[in-house]
Amino acid sequence: NFVHGDLHPGNVLVQTTTMNSDTTTSSSTSSSSSETSKKGAEKYTIVFLDAGIATSLSPRDQQNLIDLFRAVIFNDGDKAGRLMVERARHERCSQVEGGVDAFAAGIDSIVSDFHDRRKEGLTLGTVRIGTLLGRVLDLCRIHGVEIDPAMATIVLSTLVLEGLGRSLDPDLDLMHLALPFVVSWDNMRRLSQSQFLQVFHHWLLGF
């Protein structure tokens, strides 16, 4: 439960190992470089530097993140938006035109867009997580919903890693990588039977 507190391209190295039929070579390059060898199959290892600044999520923040993620997984953007307001440490959403309903509707629209794109494949080349997160942050600014600093660090780290991942492999399937976490026993055992079936049909079968 540690989050790098100063994650920028200069603090990320990509170690590449090229597997040739005769030899195996390895090298380390800065994340700012997108050039890779095409001679053989490559294996990437991500190396994080300068971890002196780190943060961690409190049990409360962890639960908030799990609940928010679950609402997004179930395509319930309205609930996700209301959770963000309900659990924000400071918010003035009720003082802004439209109030909580307007904010929740905005989050619901973003989550729906995400799920619509998911049907066409969740690759780094087709889904811009940074754009979606940017829309969320804009809504939070407009409606006065404060983002917890620990959560903000996760958002910024996600933006950095998304760009890095796209430069390395734009065809990387996010769904394939996320499945072990989405369907992990630790998470699934907390779901009701109907919720489990919803996850199975919606994510694994694509409808």
Q: What is the pTM of this model?
A: 0.66
Residues 6+ apart with CB under 8 A from 185: none
pLDDT score of 15 more than 50: yes
**Sequence-separated (6 or more) residues with CB below 8 Å from residue 151:** 61, 64, 65
Q: Say what the pLDDT of residue 83 is.
A: 92
Q: Where are the domains of the chain?
A: 3-54, 57-204
Residue 54: the pLDDT is 81
Instruction: State the Rg of the chain over Cα.
Output: 19
What's the pLDDT tens digit per position in 47-61?
889 888 888 888 888
101 is catalytic: no
Calculate mean pLDDT across residues 191-199: 59
Average of pLDDT values for 97-110? 92
Kindly name the residue from 6, 50, 76, 113 that is annotated as catalytic: 6
Kindly state the helix (H) or strand (E) to which residue 28 belongs, with its residue range: strand 24-30
In angstroms, the CA 17 to CA 14 distance is 10
Name the CA dihedral angle for 182, 185, 188, 192, rounded to a multiple of 10 degrees: 170
Please give the share of the chain, as a percent, with pLDDT higher than 70: 71
Q: What is the pLDDT of residues 111-166, one digit of tens each?
A: 988 877 766 666 777 777 778 888 998 999 999 998 877 778 787 887 787 887 88
Instruction: Enter the DSSP assignment of 4.
Output: E
